[in-house]
Structure 1
Amino acid sequence: MSDIVVSLASPVPVYEQIRAQVAAAVAVGTLTPGDRLPASRDLARDLGIAVGTVQRAYRELEAAGVVVSRRRTGTVVAPVTPADAPAGAGATAPPPAAIVARARTLVAQARAAGLTDDAVLDVVRGALAAPADPPGNAPGNASSVLT
């Protein structure tokens, strides 16, 4: 799990940078249920940050159901139990491989077009916030709310 990179100059708090990177790794299957995360002291040392910062990120991941922490085993990726997962929690089944592949294709195309990673995230957030197309209003139809 040495792929975590933080920017102390970023306006995003360091604990949130860690939380988001771990959650994303779980979402795309880079981290799978049972995988151990580094001990908070080790990760803090490697990143040059305070141990409490890593611990806060781990607490937030645990609260979201992405990881579980145990005394003897440390912090591990939570087992996937979609039936037991509360609505909105992170403990959901990972997306199908085809969805992950499409997301990677989107990222590659966006970068090739010159978009920054932040711009790509803005596009995805915008798509998530947009209402679903009503039946019969598929892309390409003349009907539009915005004129």
Structure 2
Amino acid sequence: MLIRIDPSSTVPLYEQVTASVRRALAEQRLAPGDHLPPARQLAASLEINVHTVLRAYAQLRDEGLIDLRRRRGAVVTGEADGHARLATMAKDIVAEARRTGVDAEELVGIVRRAYS
């Protein structure tokens, strides 16, 4: 299954759903135009409340990662492609930082300076 949750985790269920979708985008298991499962179906398969799934989908919509439409459902947007590309680039940057001995805190500083 594309979306997984851990009911014993302290992380709220809706955040686990959103993180799972983001991870699928970053790993390119989801692409623009792909449909997410209908909220009722996903809630039933995960054995969680449908409102939890709807809250997760709303957050993903607000982030620009999916488009929610009646009768069409949740569809991954083109914006998600950019996020996936950034996630891939971030993995490469982290690998290079480790190779050169740059720790996480220093890497964050480098990124902040570059972003300014």
TM-score range, shorter chain: 0.7 to 0.9
Q: For residues 30-89 of structure 1, give each alpha carbon's deviation from its aligned partner in whole angstroms, at most 9, with x where no partner exists.
A: 100010000000000000000000000000000000000111211010123xxxxxxxxx
Two-structure CA RMSD over aligned residues (Å): 2.9
Asked if residue 131 in structure 1 is aligned to residue 88 in structure 2, the reply is no
Counterpart position of 2:22: 23
**Residue 28 of structure 1 contacts residue 95 of structure 1 at CA under 8 Å; is this kept in 2?**
no
Q: Amino acid of the residue matched to residue 95 of structure 1?
A: R
User: CA–CA distance in 2 between the matches of 1:17 and 1:98?
Assistant: 21
Counterpart position of 2:85: 95
Structure with higher helix content: 2
4+ aligned runs moved over 3 Å, structure 1 = 96-103
User: CA–CA distance in 2 between the matches of 1:97 and 1:50?
Assistant: 30
What 5-or-longer segments of structure 1 have no aligned partner?
A: 81-90, 107-122, 135-147
Q: CA deviation at 1:23?
A: 1.3
Counterpart position of 1:113: none
Q: CA deviation at 1:20?
A: 0.7
Pairwise mapping of residues 33-72 of structure 1 onto structure 2 (< 5 A)? 33-72=32-71
Scaled by the length of structure 2, the TM-score of the pair is: 0.74
What SS is found at the alignment partner of 2:61?
A: helix
Count the aligned residue pairs. 104
Q: Do the aligned partners of residues 5 and 96 (structure 1) sit closer, same or farther apart at CA in structure 2, a change above 3 Å counting?
A: closer
**Residue 42 of structure 2 contacts residue 53 of structure 2 at CA under 8 Å; is this kept in 1?**
yes
Q: CA deviation at 1:24?
A: 1.8
What 5-or-longer segments of structure 2 have no aligned partner?
A: 96-102
Q: CA deviation at 1:92?
A: 5.7
